[in-house]
Structure 1
């Protein structure tokens, strides 16, 4: 598990300036506290200036008999929350789930994981929010896996479905990526190159693949009594971490996600979340450059009511999925494109 990985560290957010603010007397503090908290929350919601996020999705069944992918786009997660920590003004959530052995595990995760996350998310006055978010994500994945396995084992015959999961939780302008399996998350960051002000897009990997061929994953599986044959667990399962797959849990397949954190900057343009179907025919760098090139195309048509920016992202998302199919990917392909605007 890798919480802060090799990504840029988040910047410190300046606190409110209270040096010149009159402080209430001791006897007034109790009765005024509720009013002050409400006023502070409203001020943060209005003045925080967090990045605006918008999600777009394209899904293709490919040559498979069934669409086993699922996805979630929630630019505002607050309706699912009883309350937010006092220092948080926005939560957003986007996720892609690539099912195997059926679509029940991916659908279950899409319907339930963010609901469990909302219940477990820190509330009220909190310290060390990063640590609490980390614990929340780990507990949420564990709970989601346990809940699905309980339902799966109660069926006759028992369900054998499993799913990968790549989830993007945005707390104000801090992105947390939690992933299992071989779906991926990529960030496009635009940087200036040289004095001629030429800009280039840089691809940052926000997730880590979990394949049985990876040394650490293979060692864990073998230590648990499982084997890796032809790059698969017991010669069958292509991923070494997943939600579901109850028959492989005793062989070292786990539901503990890798966690990474990244602070959004004004140079960030978008995040791609996609299942492995896309990456069978695209490298991460190719996928990011493909989207970036479509966004630079001023001739892109847009739907009625869309801005030019929205039309560009919608077109880029759809074209990326279409191109994956054109290149010969026979697997399900799901692409989520999250635009970032300050």
Structure 2
């Protein structure tokens, strides 16, 4: 499945006045309609060593000093360790949710709903999106319908690009629906058992027997010098904002010169906080009735 086949066509042109945050960008960039291959493997090692090897062999006629492959196995092992760590973290978090719900159910009298004052009852669940930075790569673990969007500048087109970093988990997707049905669950009106809107989540203990799992997708994205920031948000934002609109909205605020530094905060901190607040407020103003949680991550070079 093409990761970027569902990227909406750009419909908004980014308005830029005076360069500030992106002072290396040309004026009036708009959103690119195509996205580069993001999650391919790391570039192959240059062939300089191989060329030197062939030259040495031609001169000496021996293979006694063949060079070792440059730590390809180390890279693979590192990625495996990172993925294992993320998968374990999600698993343990899910188990914590389920244990909390189970302990509260055990304390409640038969036929009653136990929710002591100040003590939450974890009957429901949550989506989760995690971004881990390792050297110059980010590893993104996701389950549910929250999203992580990378703002990247395309030098060739001179446009800002909204790059999706995750795949959402919807019960209407073929692989997700098949797993749910094999577990004995059903998908009605685009929801698990006609209720749950996502096919993977943390918690939601009553749907675990229906094929809802807490295993995230884990993907790697090499960062480039053209990457500006990462936007993480739950589906409440994206029900009223397409990714391109959100990127343009945030960029305009990050380049607002009237937002100055405050006591204990840099001008960058102030702008990023303002961008989060204003984007969430605009989502509510547009009619989003769902939770709108937003995190902006600056990428510094």
Same fold, judged at TM 0.5 (above): yes
Counterpart of 2:161 (choices 202, 211, 220) is 202
Match of 2:132 in 1: 169
Match of 1:129 in 2: 78
After superposition, the C-alpha distances for 1:264-318 in whole angstroms (9 at most, x for unaligned) are 2211110011011101100112111211222233333443344333332222222
TM-score normalised to the size of structure 1?
0.61
Match of 1:7 in 2: 39
After superposition, the C-alpha distances for 1:73-114 in whole angstroms (9 at most, x for unaligned) are xxxxxxxxxxxxxxxxxxxxxxxxxxxxxxxxxxxxxxxxxx
Stretch moving more, 228-237 or 148-157: 148-157
TM-score normalised to the size of structure 2?
0.69
Counterpart of 2:96 (choices 141, 147, 166) is 147
Matched, 1:240 2:199: yes
Matched, 1:180 2:212: no
Matched, 1:310 2:273: no
Match of 2:183 in 1: 224
After superposition, the C-alpha distances for 1:49-86 in whole angstroms (9 at most, x for unaligned) are xxxxxxxxxxxxxxxxxxxxxxxxxxxxxxxxxxxxxx
Which consecutive residues of structure 2, in runs of 5 or more, have no partner in the other structure?
A: 1-36, 47-73, 109-113, 115-121
Counterpart of 1:335 (choices 291, 294, 297) is 294
Counterpart of 2:123 (choices 154, 157, 160) is 160
Counterpart of 1:189 (choices 135, 152, 158) is 152
Secondary structure in structure 2 of the residue aligned to 1:282: coil
Taking the TM superposition and a 5 Å limit, the aligned residue runs for 1:8-27 are 9-10=41-42
Secondary structure in structure 2 of the residue aligned to 1:155: helix
Match of 2:258 in 1: 299
After superposition, the C-alpha distances for 1:138-166 in whole angstroms (9 at most, x for unaligned) are 12212221232122112134742211111
How far apart, CA to CA, are the structure 1 residues paired with 2:43 and 2:146?
28
Secondary structure in structure 2 of the residue aligned to 1:212: coil
Structure 1 residue 193: Cα displacement: 4.1
Secondary structure in structure 2 of the residue aligned to 1:135: helix
Counterpart of 1:215 (choices 161, 165, 174) is 174
How far apart, CA to CA, are the structure 1 residues paired with 2:101 and 2:211?
19
Counterpart of 2:238 (choices 269, 279, 292) is 279
Which consecutive residues of structure 1, in runs of 5 or more, have no partner in the other structure?
A: 15-124
Secondary structure in structure 1 of the residue aligned to 2:194: coil
CA root-mean-square deviation: 2.8
1:184/1:141 CA distance change after superposition, 3 Å: same
How far apart, CA to CA, are the structure 1 residues paired with 2:137 and 2:43?
9
CA contact (8 A) 1:141 1:255 kept: yes
Counterpart of 2:283 (choices 324, 331, 334) is 324
How far apart, CA to CA, are the structure 1 residues paired with 2:75 and 2:222?
20
CA contact (8 A) 1:9 1:263 kept: no
Secondary structure in structure 1 of the residue aligned to 2:206: helix
1:144/1:285 CA distance change after superposition, 3 Å: same
Q: Give the length in aligned residue pairs.
A: 228
Structure 1 residue 6: Cα displacement: 4.5
Structure 1 residue 224: Cα displacement: 0.9
Structure 1 residue 130: Cα displacement: 0.6
Structure 1 or 2, whichever has the larger Rg, is 2
